[in-house]
Amino acid sequence: MITENLDVFLADFGVSVTAGAITGVGLFDMPTQIIADGMVLTSDYTLTAKTSDFGGVSYGDAITVDGTAYQVREVRRLDDGKFCEIGLSKV
């Protein structure tokens, strides 16, 4: 179970995240790309954020990460549920 202050954890590497009226910080991972014959077929983006901030977003919701628009594909709680991992598609 994580007992540390999550805001301190996110402060060093986090980027600004906004979903509706909620603004917070999350860790944005570089995209995973599926490539066939030298062409990118899809790019999957992942955001790790506090569940208390962004655990309520769901499929199709708009979310802005570091000034770029994305759409939520899925949301999963991680470990003890304090963090969630949000799968995104670029809009």
* Spatial separation of the C-alpha atoms in residues 49 and 40, rounded to whole Å: 27
pLDDT in tens, 45-63: 999 999 999 999 999 999 9
User: 4 φ, ψ to 5°?
Assistant: -75, 160
pTM for this model (two decimals): 0.83
> Domain containing 45 — which CATH number?
2.40.10
pLDDT at 2: 60
Q: Which regions of the chain are under pLDDT 70?
A: 1-4
Q: Structural domain of residue 67, as residue ranges? A: 6-90
Per the structure, the count of domains in the chain is 1
Q: Classify 33 as helix, strand or coil.
A: strand
Is residue 1 one of the residues assigned to a domain? Answer: no
